Structure 1
């Protein structure tokens, strides 16, 4: 008899175009994948996959079976979710993408609580600054920070974020402390390459000014840039949510604190569609509850907000 997991395995082979990639995605060995496909073909008495040197593709019968499997598995997953909700449970596999630094520091603890609260929920979290394709890579949701690109994806703002320029006291003692944004052009800057816009934007009085930083060290990872700044290699712009510890222990200090950067948003995005799985609705609700309101999870941002709210002498 063909089992549900056999169908899932078959669909992964079709989607990934091969046994190895399907096995990697499913977290099982290639031999198990081969046995499951062989079992399906034996049960149906027909060849479902065409095996060539170029890879694997479904036969005409395989295409028909693919369509039916997708329909059956969608109905099965919906049925599991509907029944589980009667008992207040969340089931299924939740695939989430999140930026590395923010994800490890702030999202991972939230996911740990979800795993404890819902023992039948599987979580597959990818922490990377790479912008994944939710639909092509079959993610249920992703967390994005900054300006969102126009797309058909559904976005929900879950909290605020802001960057601060920082450098080590040693670097600033050697090279001097910038007094205005234009002074940055004569400094060694540590540049984040994961941002589409290379310029730094700061508020100078009532207007915004842009400065294009230059330097010999670049990275697409904020923690690497912060580590270099702590080593005295230059000035970097880093989100406040990753700076509290380094500032409190004096490893770095704010640069140009009177010239704030724009506030930007933290968003959770999901594929389009009115039928939102319960696991995704639950995730969004938990993220909004945790990160919305006052940013208690970001000590630097809370401190900055307190300074702005305090009456001047």
Structure 2
């Protein structure tokens, strides 16, 4: 039996002065109300009510207990109301981990619009491209781009991330435009160090380039790799959210577009599906529709600011 039920039954009898009136208020039988009060008295080891055939009155101990019991119930209901509001309104501190280049270019608008819609949320954004354990490192959400492997976390797709094999016109003029995958063997590859080989024939070239010493530059930042490609250092595989403007301006050209790497996804990764904190649930719902299936950096390339 719930202790709050017994406490509430006592408070109703004490304030209404009747087991029958308390039963009506609680929508239970008078016998159950009497049972609740008797069990409460047995548990605390003392009588709280004086009962006669004509009236019910408080003992001295009952008077003291009533004051505390009313406060306990008030605190409990206040707590429930407060938790209900937390679940219906996004509040609190939301810790997000995100990849550097994407965040610097495209995340500020999402976070700003989200906070305008949810002003009670404080955002703590930390940027890096390494894999993290969101629970161990205290994050609510991690935004990640890639082909996700099996994970114990929940992953929500937010928007597609197109990839392109690209190089500068100067590099192509000097080394020639490859017309098939085999021709890539003689070219320099600018390698993103957090990259996993895409599940296409390009993976074979990437592995071969590494073995044959054609991996001429390694970096853990896509903006630097794109800048190196623009300067003619080699061929890079880059997401269009970084290189779309360079392609539109002609600073980069697409290489072997028929063999483009498969589209990846921007994911929101979080730990729990059940009893999800309102701030996390609201962010996931908001971000899911924000960029869409045709994000603006692909739809309107000239709007990007490299």
Moved more, 288-297 or 188-197: 288-297
More helix as a share of residues: 2
Is 1:82 the counterpart of 2:80? The answer is no
Contact 2:163 2:240 (8 Å CA) reproduced? yes
Contact 2:163 2:239 (8 Å CA) reproduced? yes
1:136/1:270 CA distance change after superposition, 3 Å: same
Tell me the equivalent position of 1:211: 205
What is the rounded CA distance, in whole Å, between the counterparts of 2:292 and 2:251 in structure 1?
Answer: 29
What is the rounded CA distance, in whole Å, between the counterparts of 2:80 and 2:233 in structure 1?
Answer: 53
Tell me the equivalent position of 2:200: 201
- Secondary structure of residue in 1 paired with 2:238: strand
Cα distance per residue 1:205-231 (max 9 Å; x no partner): xxx873123322100111110010111
CA RMSD of aligned residues (A): 2.5
How far apart are residue 81 of structure 1 and its match? 5.8
Is 1:296 the counterpart of 2:296? The answer is yes
How far apart are residue 117 of structure 1 and its match? 2.7
Tell me the equivalent position of 1:41: none
How far apart are residue 295 of structure 1 and its match? 2.9
Tell me the equivalent position of 2:277: 277
What is the rounded CA distance, in whole Å, between the counterparts of 2:192 and 2:83 in structure 1?
Answer: 41
Tell me the equivalent position of 1:59: none
What is the rounded CA distance, in whole Å, between the counterparts of 2:113 and 2:164 in structure 1?
Answer: 30
- Secondary structure of residue in 2 paired with 1:291: coil
What is the rounded CA distance, in whole Å, between the counterparts of 1:182 and 1:176 in structure 2?
Answer: 13
Tell me the equivalent position of 1:43: none
1:186/1:200 CA distance change after superposition, 3 Å: farther
Bigger radius of gyration among the two: 2
Cα distance per residue 1:62-120 (max 9 Å; x no partner): xxxxxxxxxxxxxx99965633566xx42100111111112222222100112223332
Tell me the equivalent position of 1:252: 252
Count of matched residue positions in the alignment of Structure 1 and Structure 2: 218
- Secondary structure of residue in 1 paired with 2:296: coil
For residues 51-62 of structure 1, what are the structure 2 equivalents within 5 Å?
A: none
What is the rounded CA distance, in whole Å, between the counterparts of 1:146 and 1:77 in structure 2?
Answer: 42
1:122/1:252 CA distance change after superposition, 3 Å: same
1:215/1:77 CA distance change after superposition, 3 Å: farther
- Secondary structure of residue in 2 paired with 1:201: coil
What is the rounded CA distance, in whole Å, between the counterparts of 1:77 and 1:255 in structure 2?
Answer: 61
For residues 215-234 of structure 1, what are the structure 2 equivalents within 5 Å?
A: 215-234=215-234
Contact 2:244 2:297 (8 Å CA) reproduced? no
In structure 2, list runs of 5 or more residues that go unmatched. Answer: 1-77, 302-306
In structure 1, list runs of 5 or more residues that go unmatched. Answer: 1-75, 203-207, 302-313
1:180/1:167 CA distance change after superposition, 3 Å: same
1:181/1:77 CA distance change after superposition, 3 Å: farther
How far apart are residue 183 of structure 1 and its match? 1.2
1:151/1:259 CA distance change after superposition, 3 Å: closer
